[in-house]
Amino acid sequence: MSNKVKKVLLVGPILSNSGYGEHARCVLRALLSNINEFDIYIAPTSWGATSTDTKNTAENRFILDCIQRQQNHKGEYDLSLQVALPNEWKPLAAKNIGLTAAVETDRCNPYWIDACNKMDKVIVVSDHAGKSITNHKYPITDKSGNQAGDLFFKGTMATVGYPVKNFEISNFAENLEISDSCFLSVLQAAPRKNYISLIKCFLEEFWEEDIGLLLKMNFVTDSIVDRGNLFQHIESVVKSHSGNGERKCKIHLLHGRLSEDDLHSLYVDKRMKGYLTTTHGEGFGLPVFEAAYSGLPVIAPNWSGYLDFMRAPYTNEKSGKTKLRSLFLKTKCEIKSVSQNALMKDIISPESKWAYVDEGHFKKNMRSLLKSPVLYFKEAKILKEHIEREFSEQKIFSKLLKEISGVTNFLEKTEQEDSVLVL
């Protein structure tokens, strides 16, 4: 490494309780793993209406110190690391790297491509996120309205996911009064999550059975008002579906923010039989990731970012052959246009497509999981061990630092310098 410490500006919602907040903290932890190389400054941003992490931890105290230093800093930066949607990126330093989960659809907004091309490198969290940027081009028109060329991604891209976390033992879940046999889903009540379809499938399949569905969710915030509105909404969704006879299945609603340890206790609770999602798409899918490395079987559409980590080498007991195999209950889906109510200006454009789960197949997979729990928990254990190896903090942080080094020339040694010249 160079003897010169690099001034690094980290921009992102680093104190936000959101996926992008977690991404920003992941980048910070990677930098801290090689702290002697970096002089870190942080410019915090907001992320919608998500709450802020105000815990008095060593990490948060360090973050606040870096924010104060950034506010007082007058000089230039060697590098900016910007964790945000691409439309928010801008050159802020000598070198600039944009980090994003991109978009959950099959393509990004054309404005994003222009922003990506202004960065020295783009780092995405999944192959799906990368393809949403690189797989499409848009026509460019001149002032007269004539096609003058195509807008497409011309830059450098790398894929680096999130690391597995270590958790403290928490008894939070065991104190919850929920069904003895339960499915779990962790999500926000947003159109993209397709949660109404999830509830519908659960009710239709288990109406007369003593099975539970634990929904850890909110609308936008962790407030009491948000909780009340969500409870009423979910109640109305349930009432809109009826089955034969008295309903025995139960929906348990858990609102608000949990600590990481308490959230993990849900994934590993013995009453949980599987993790469910009918999502239209994920840039990465942190809750799916957390469920998978917790050893909980997952049922999900065969689409989007989590496909990167839901496969592992699997040895067939009968044939003895080992091959890479998806170790979750893949659910059929159809890739169709995004519904009008889910379109978002500058983010999800009208041309975009995403997944619509095959509800019949989803219900079949839920039933299969309950019929053969030993089989699917065995596969989940194999996937868990694979993820622990391939997505360890050491590996993920090393990958991030390598990509950063490639832009900033932190690594001054070259193959030529290491070689012996014969004259």
pLDDT (0 to 100) of residue 3: 53
Is pLDDT at 4 greater than 70 in this prediction?
yes
Note whether 225 and 354 are same-domain residues: yes
What kind and span of H or E run contains 269? none
> Given pLDDT bands bounded at 50, 70 and 90, which one contains residue 409?
low
Note whether 185 and 262 are same-domain residues: yes
In CATH, what number is assigned to the domain containing residue 134?
3.40.50
Note whether 259 and 286 are same-domain residues: yes
Q: Is 278:357 a contact under the CB 8 Å cutoff? A: yes
Which of 97-106, 136-145, 241-250, 302-311 bottoms out in mean pLDDT, i.e. has the lowest?
A: 136-145
Indicate whether 101 belongs to any domain: yes
pLDDT (0 to 100) of residue 145: 77
pLDDT (0 to 100) of residue 414: 31
Note whether 232 and 138 are same-domain residues: no
Indicate whether 278 belongs to any domain: yes
Task: Give me the mean pLDDT over the 9-27 stretch.
Answer: 94
What one-character DSSP code corresponds to residue 52? B
66 versus 405: the higher-pLDDT residue is 66
Note whether 273 and 350 are same-domain residues: yes
Tokens 């992008």, residue located: 20
Indicate whether 416 belongs to any domain: no
What kind and span of H or E run contains 300? strand 298-301
Tens-digit pLDDT profile for residues 278-312: 999 999 999 999 999 999 999 999 999 999 999 99
CA 14, CA 40: separation in Å to the nearest integer?
A: 13
pLDDT (0 to 100) of residue 14: 96
Is pLDDT at 103 greater than 80 in this prediction?
yes
pLDDT (0 to 100) of residue 140: 84
Is pLDDT at 197 greater than 50 in this prediction?
yes
Indicate whether 1 belongs to any domain: no
Tens-digit pLDDT profile for residues 253-277: 999 889 999 999 999 999 999 999 9
Is pLDDT at 313 greater than 50 in this prediction?
yes
Q: Is 353:337 a contact under the CB 8 Å cutoff? A: yes
pLDDT (0 to 100) of residue 387: 98
Is pLDDT at 423 greater than 70 in this prediction?
no
Note whether 202 and 150 are same-domain residues: no
> Given pLDDT bands bounded at 50, 70 and 90, which one contains residue 419?
very low
Task: Give me the mean pLDDT over the 167-194 stretch.
Answer: 96
pLDDT (0 to 100) of residue 142: 75
Note whether 159 and 207 are same-domain residues: no
pLDDT (0 to 100) of residue 410: 55
Is pLDDT at 66 greater than 80 in this prediction?
yes
Is pLDDT at 201 greater than 90 in this prediction?
yes
Q: Say whether 275 sits in a helix, a strand or coil.
A: strand
Tens-digit pLDDT profile for residues 369-394: 999 999 999 999 999 999 999 999 99
Phi and psi torsions of 85, nearest 5°: -65, 145
Note whether 49 and 134 are same-domain residues: yes
Strand ranges (E), 56-146: 79-83, 95-100, 121-124, 138-141
Tokens 């054309």, residue located: 110
What kind and span of H or E run contains 117? none
CA 129, CA 112: separation in Å to the nearest integer?
A: 12
pLDDT (0 to 100) of residue 211: 98
Which residues, in sequence order, are bridge partners of residue 314? 323
Strand ranges (E), 92-175: 95-100, 121-124, 138-141, 147-151, 157-159
Q: What is the mean pLDDT of the chain?
A: 92
Indicate whether 414 belongs to any domain: no
101 versus 221: the higher-pLDDT residue is 101
Q: Is 311:326 a contact under the CB 8 Å cutoff? A: yes
Which of 49-58, 84-93, 298-307, 386-395 bottoms out in mean pLDDT, i.e. has the lowest?
A: 49-58
pLDDT (0 to 100) of residue 257: 85
Note whether 317 and 357 are same-domain residues: yes
pLDDT (0 to 100) of residue 413: 38
Residue 249 has which token pair?
Answer: 């299945």
Residue 129 has which token pair?
Answer: 């996120």
Indicate whether 420 belongs to any domain: no
Q: Which residues contact residue 283 at a Cβ distance below 8 angstroms, ignoring those fewer than 6 apart?
A: 19, 100, 101, 102, 103, 104, 124, 125, 126, 128, 129, 304, 305
Q: Which residues contact residue 43 at a Cβ distance below 8 angstroms, ignoring those fewer than 6 apart?
A: 9, 10, 11, 67, 70
Is pLDDT at 243 greater than 90 in this prediction?
no
Is pLDDT at 421 greater than 60 in this prediction?
no
Task: Give me the mean pLDDT over the 153-166 stretch.
Answer: 96
> Given pLDDT bands bounded at 50, 70 and 90, which one contains residue 415?
very low
Q: Cβ atoms within 10 A of the Cβ of 378, count?
A: 13
String of DSSP letters for 195-206? HHHHHHHHHHHH
Is pLDDT at 144 greater than 80 in this prediction?
no
**Domain housing 315:** 173-390
Note whether 227 and 330 are same-domain residues: yes
Note whether 10 and 136 are same-domain residues: yes
Q: Say whether 130 sits in a helix, a strand or coil.
A: helix
State the burial class of residue 148 (Cβ atoms within 10 Å of its Cβ: 0-12, 13-18, 19+). Answer: exposed
Based on C-alpha coordinates, what's the Rg of the chain?
Answer: 23
353-357 and 322-326: which strand pairing? unpaired
Note whether 179 and 68 are same-domain residues: no
> Given pLDDT bands bounded at 50, 70 and 90, which one contains residue 412?
very low
Total domain count for the chain?
2
Q: At what angle do helices 286-293 and 373-390 cross, to 10 degrees?
A: 110
Tens-digit pLDDT profile for residues 107-139: 998 889 999 999 999 999 999 999 999 998 898
